[in-house]
Amino acid sequence: MLTISALILLIKSTSFFKLNQVQDETKKKVEFKAQTIIQIVSSVVLNPLLEEDELTLNEIVKNVKEKDPQIKYSEILNTEGNVLAHNEFDKIGTVEKFQEGISENESLYIFTSPIKLKDKTIAYFSLGFDKSSYLMDTHRSKNIIEKWVNLFVLLFFFCGLILLIFLSSLIQKSVFVFVKKTLNGKDEEIRLLLKENTRLQKLLEETTKKVIQEVVEEENLAHSGEKEFKIDIPKEPIKEKEVSETYGIEEELKIMEENLEESKKIKEEVPIGPVVSPEQGDKPIEVVDAEPEMVDIETPNASFTQIINNKEESKVLNTELTEEKEKFSDTPKDNALRLENTEELKKIEIEQTEPITIISVSPDPFVLGNILEIKISLLNNTSLLVIIENQKEELTRVFSYDGKKGENIITWEGKDLLNNFVAPGVYTITITEKKIDGAKVSTKTTVKNV
């Protein structure tokens, strides 16, 4: 009982250490996520920090807060702890105590990291993550650990019970064999004693009869004058004990083992897998190469067959390629970029708003590797903030642009904040005019990436 209690205590302590390990991993996950976000945003906030552009700083902080539901707040502080930008405007200008690195309170995981310019810290970026969203994962892990602990305890008791039953059966069988063997030996001894007793009784009766007969003969001789008489009692040698041929428990076990071996020898072997005849085994497997599908480019709206998830789909070739008048064959892989008929693409609808007017966006749709050009017209010289979002309204790219009066061309190479090419889809481009007094005008358009 003491051993079982010690084992349960050991399992509980192990589950406690596992839970602490899960909490440490949660902190590491929060720290890694915060470092990634701050690393991305640091390059964006350098210019507004140097220009003391509070509007741009607040816009960036607000976008960071809105794009991640687990972020409770985001703020930028100077080296003295003054709040320069915050997602809540009433916090701007206040002084806060901060600790570099990760810390926590009752409801938040807080991570603060310096923003450096040439190895000199010019500001700090702080993020507060909602603790409850991560505690759900911790409680879920705790419940899983407790379930496994309870399952292990039940499995241990079940295995112990099975082992106890097996040992008791084995001991009972051994005791039964020993008792049976002992009883068989006692029976043999009793049988031999009874046989010897019967032999001795028979010998005694024969000797008694012979003595009586000799006494009678002696009396007859005495009456006839013969005085001498002699009685010879024959001494029959005692025969050695004869052991009858009996089968004990050892002989029975030996016979059972011989029968078992004999049954194994005559047992038929069942073949595993398909039976191949000699004629079939000599023939190699024939592999036939499939003929590639040839497509004639001269045909208008020519198409080719694309295999996706073991299903054939017909895809229309780009009309530009039909002018090459060449033949080719191809089998695109899964998730590959495919060409579409440009005649079916819709034109971009541009919302014109003064004093910013979008003239054109080309090429649309644009392919990975090309540079997207956004041609705009401005009434005056102004500073612009360009925000690019995907279909889920997640921030993809943000950058500043100093616009001049008249026509301007803004370029985008199709990469996100991490300098990786974006996935195919529809992207919204918002161009906002930055003003110190807070008033701003903006316009937006959409573009398709294939």
- Torsion sign across C-alpha atoms 59, 62, 63, 64: positive
Which residues contact residue 318 at a Cβ distance below 8 angstroms, ignoring those fewer than 6 apart? 339, 340, 341, 342
According to the 3-state scheme, what is the secondary structure of 209-251?
HHHHHHHHHHHHHHHCCCCCCCCCCCCCCCCCCCCCCCCCHHH
According to the 3-state scheme, what is the secondary structure of 253-285?
HHHHHHHHHHHHHHCCCCCCCCCCCHHHHCCCC
- Torsion sign across C-alpha atoms 416, 390, 59, 387: positive
CATH number of the domain at 2-136, please? Answer: 3.30.450.20
pLDDT tens, the chain, 450 aa long: 445 555 555 555 555 455 567 677 888 888 888 888 888 888 888 888 888 888 888 888 888 888 888 888 888 888 888 888 888 888 888 888 888 888 888 888 888 889 888 888 888 988 888 888 767 666 566 667 677 777 877 888 788 889 889 888 889 888 888 888 888 888 888 988 888 889 888 888 888 888 888 877 877 776 655 444 444 545 445 444 444 444 455 565 566 566 556 544 544 444 444 444 444 444 444 434 444 445 454 455 555 555 555 566 665 555 444 444 444 444 444 444 444 444 444 444 444 456 788 888 888 888 877 888 999 988 889 888 888 999 888 888 888 889 899 999 999 998 888 888 888 888 889 888 876 555 566 777 777 776
| The domains spanning 2-136 and 345-449 adopt the same CATH topology | no
CATH architecture of the domain with residue range 345-449: Sandwich (2.60)
Residue 418 C-alpha from the chain's centroid: 28
**Bond into 355 cis (ω within 30):** yes
Q: Count of alpha carbons within 13 Å of 169, Cβ hemisphere only?
A: 6
Which residues contact residue 377 at a Cβ distance below 8 angstroms, ignoring those fewer than 6 apart? 356, 357, 359, 406, 407, 408
Domain ranges of the chain: 2-136, 295-340, 345-449
pTM exceeds 0.75 for this model: no
Question: Three-state DSSP class for 436?
Answer: coil
